[in-house]
Structure 1
Amino acid sequence: MDWHPYAHALAGRVTHPGSRWRDAVANIPRHHLVPAWWTWNDRWKVRRGPDDEAAWLDAAYSDRTLVTKIGTLHADHAEPGDEPTGRPTSSSTLPTLVLQMYRHARIGEKDTVLDVGVGSGYGAALLCHLLGEDQVISIDVDNYVTTVAARRLADIGYHPRIAPLDATGTIPWAADRIVAMVAVRPIPASWLTALNPGGRLVTTITNTSLIVSAVKTADGGAVGTVERDWAIFMKTRTGGDYPPGLTGLVATARTAEGEHVAMTHYPVLDIEEDAWELRSMLEVTCPGIEHSYHEDASTRTAVMVHPDGSWARAVQVDHARPVVHQAGPHRLWDELDRVRDYWLQHGSLPLYGARVRITPDGTIHLQRGRWKATITG
């Protein structure tokens, strides 16, 4: 199977001619690192590369994320007919996003890089090709993921240090750069400890599209910025799967009569898919909200729920004003409306481009003009 033309074509799509990453993308057999993956069409279905080599090459060398694990079931272990439920827990991130994060890290040729979230090992392979394997450390909470990634990387000639490790716990190595393909909230204090003086970290904040890049300071913290860019990654976990979500409260919110019922001026929208900036601002101001959205020919319904028991349901029929039901300690839809009010009043939200100060315990302080916010655990 000649995969080289496909890898070269991918390199042409995701890098410019002068990019130092172009040769790496053109020469790494991504298909070897992802021999099986999950696809979604109303349900999860496993795809195995050797069963259809043309589809395998097309998927592996397209610029898209390949989900490799749903809940606790890795695609490598799936049987025909398996239809797992739950959320994706591991993947091979789309190449442009991997490169995007590495570029924000400003990686020098002599830098040691800690790659957080090994996934398929593709990001580690890119780093090894550019820097040499001795300068690459890759970690993941999943023992199988690290084991199989190390084996497949060795098959193609790369031997970075790979370890099964909780990224939020102690990091036993030092690095000049830390780049995370998982989202955190707040910044793990262990990252700041592991970062060499003057080192740089790049990560995203859980349930937001915010990319934070920051340089370590003499006090053990870091300073930097929220990039004028966006990305969303799976959040860190400590076990084989994420804890159960608020599905029971979502079911209640879909049908219950609210303690407070009113009409709102703003249209109902799918905040997770279509409004990343709004979602990010809401997560900063009122963290922990889970969202659900449904749309049919004439009706759009958005549900918001919170661990404290608060919920909101907004229903809009055609172009009529939405009716909002809310209950619990917080009025969640009112929180969203306040974010949208801010946007209209100021012409934008203050997140992207905000200055970042991270204290040694990992607390994130944001500021842009007179706007300030703090992100804790």
Structure 2
Amino acid sequence: MDWETHARRLAADTVRPESRWYEPLATTPRHLLVPRWWDNEGGRWALRDGESDPEAWARAAYTDRALVTQVGPLHADHAEPETVTEGRPTSSSTLPGLVVTMYRHAMITDNSHVLVTTGTGYGTALACRRLGAELVTSVDVDAHLVTTARQRLQALGLRPHLAVCDITGPLPGEYDGSCPPCPCGPSRPPGWRPCARAGAWSPRSPEPGSSSPRTRPTTAAR
């Protein structure tokens, strides 16, 4: 697969060439972080395996769309070939445009220490490409996601700090910016507040009628 061409097109479709997020988007092989996913077919979820259909893999991975990776308790990594299932999505690779938008609204700078959630590891990879892995901490409550993301990120030469933890509880370290796993309304999960350094920023839910997350300053609990 000529993934670099696909990644450059995704970057061009998502941000301006002068954006500091252009290179992370253009140099991150998203398909390697999402080798299997679920497609919705008439309300049911059909397993897709990238290696068995490289063209579909490239189209899915390098389009600005979310890729569902878990339905109910069944992760695509663990499903039998040609599985079709029903239920609600419980994990996904967020669409790249939204990941970058959330990072922008977190007011991330070149020297920011950031806290992100793991999932497939794609958002973590973008943050590592932008800042350097030493400035990125990535957490998830699901040990499988953390272990798998660590292995796939290491295969890309990226070694951020990853940890298994519940974001509603205490979190490791202090950070200049944080990106919750989803818009979380007027307040962030309690565990995100004590780890925010003074002046840190984090995205909030969009205003009604708006597609852009809001931001607000947060003060660390010392």
2:62 aligned with 1:66 = no
Indicate if the aligned counterparts of 1:180 and 1:204 stay in contact, CA closer than 8 A: no
Match of 1:169 in 2: 169
Q: What percentage of aligned pairs have identical amino acids? A: 44
Give the match's secondary structure for 1:198: strand
Match of 1:41 in 2: 41
Match of 1:193 in 2: 194
Residue identity matched to 2:151: R
Alpha-carbon displacement from aligned partner over 1:252-287 (angstroms, at most 9, x marks no partner): xxxxxxxxxxxxxxxxxxxxxxxxxxxxxxxxxxxx
Residue identity matched to 1:155: A
Match of 2:103 in 1: 102
In the aligned structure 1, how far is the partner of 2:26 from the partner of 2:143? 29
Alpha-carbon displacement from aligned partner over 1:191-213 (angstroms, at most 9, x marks no partner): 111001111122438xx978342
Offset of residue 81 of structure 1? 4.3
Residue identity matched to 1:168: T
Alpha-carbon displacement from aligned partner over 1:12-65 (angstroms, at most 9, x marks no partner): 100102101111111110000000000001210000000011111111101100
Indicate if the aligned counterparts of 2:183 and 2:213 stay in contact, CA closer than 8 A: no
Give the match's secondary structure for 1:108: coil
Q: Which stretches in structure 1 are left out of the alignment for 5+ residues?
A: 221-377
In the aligned structure 1, how far is the partner of 2:183 from the partner of 2:18? 30
Label 1:181 to 1:155 Cα distance change in 2 as closer, same or farther (>3 A).
same
Match of 1:252 in 2: none
Match of 1:135 in 2: 135
1:1-377 → structure 2 map (5 Å cutoff): 1-42=1-42, 43-116=44-117, 118-184=118-184, 186-204=187-205, 211-217=213-219, 220=221
Alpha-carbon displacement from aligned partner over 1:125-160 (angstroms, at most 9, x marks no partner): 111011100100111111111111111011011011
Q: In angstroms, what is the RMSD of aligned CA positions?
A: 2.0
Indicate if the aligned counterparts of 1:71 and 1:84 stay in contact, CA closer than 8 A: no
In the aligned structure 1, how far is the partner of 2:154 from the partner of 2:40? 30
Offset of residue 83 of structure 1? 2.8
Q: Which has the higher contact order (CA 8 A, sep 6+)?
A: 2
Q: Which stretches in structure 2 are left out of the alignment for 5+ residues?
A: none
Offset of residue 98 of structure 1? 0.4
Indicate if the aligned counterparts of 2:30 and 2:61 stay in contact, CA closer than 8 A: yes
Relative to the length of structure 2, the TM-score reads 0.91
Structure with higher Rg: it is 1
Offset of residue 181 of structure 1? 2.3
In the aligned structure 2, how far is the partner of 1:184 from the partner of 1:8? 31
In the aligned structure 2, how far is the partner of 1:217 from the partner of 1:77? 41
Indicate if the aligned counterparts of 2:48 and 2:82 stay in contact, CA closer than 8 A: no
Relative to the length of structure 1, the TM-score reads 0.55
Indicate if the aligned counterparts of 1:179 and 1:203 stay in contact, CA closer than 8 A: no
Offset of residue 162 of structure 1? 1.1
Offset of residue 85 of structure 1? 2.6
In the aligned structure 1, how far is the partner of 2:191 from the partner of 2:45? 36
Give the match's secondary structure for 2:77: helix
Indicate if the aligned counterparts of 1:91 and 1:119 stay in contact, CA closer than 8 A: yes
Label 1:189 to 1:90 Cα distance change in 2 as closer, same or farther (>3 A).
same
In the aligned structure 1, how far is the partner of 2:74 from the partner of 2:192? 29
In the aligned structure 1, how far is the partner of 2:203 from the partner of 2:129? 20
Alignment length, in residue pairs? 217
Label 1:12 to 1:211 Cα distance change in 2 as closer, same or farther (>3 A).
closer
